[in-house]
Amino acid sequence: MSRFSAVTDNPHDGRFNQKTGILLTNLGSPDAPTPAALRTYLREFLSDPRIVEIPRLVWMIILHGIILRIRPKRSAKLYESIWTENGSPLTHITRLQRDKLNTLLQEQGYTNTEVVMAMRYGNPSIEAGLEELRDKGLTRIIVLPLYPQYSSPTTGSTFDAVSNVLRKWRWVPELHFVNGYHKNTSYIDSLANSISEDLEKNGMPQKLVFSYHGMPKLFLDRGDPYHCLCLQTTRLVSEKLGLDKDAVISTFQSRFGKAEWLKPYTDATLSAFPDENITDVAIISPAFSADCLETLEELEEENREIFENAGGEKYRYIAALNDRDDHISALYDVLKPML
SS3 of residue 145 by DSSP: strand
Q: How far apart are CA 101 and CA 274, in angstroms?
A: 42
Residues 286, 290, 295, 296, Cα dihedral to 10°: 150
Q: Is 64 annotated as a binding residue?
A: no
- Classify burial at 145, counting beta carbons within 10 Å of its beta carbon; exposed 0-12, middle 13-18, buried 19 or more: buried
213 annotated as ligand-binding: yes
- Measured on CA atoms in the order 221, 224, 227, 231, is the torsion positive or negative? positive
Residue 34, judged by CB atoms within 10 A of its CB (0-12, 13-18, 19+), counts as middle
Closest C-alpha among 142, 307, 286 to residue 226 = 286
Contact criterion met (CB below 8 Å) for 314 and 121: no
Annotated binding-site ranges = 213, 294
Annotated binding-site ranges for Fe(2+) = 213, 294
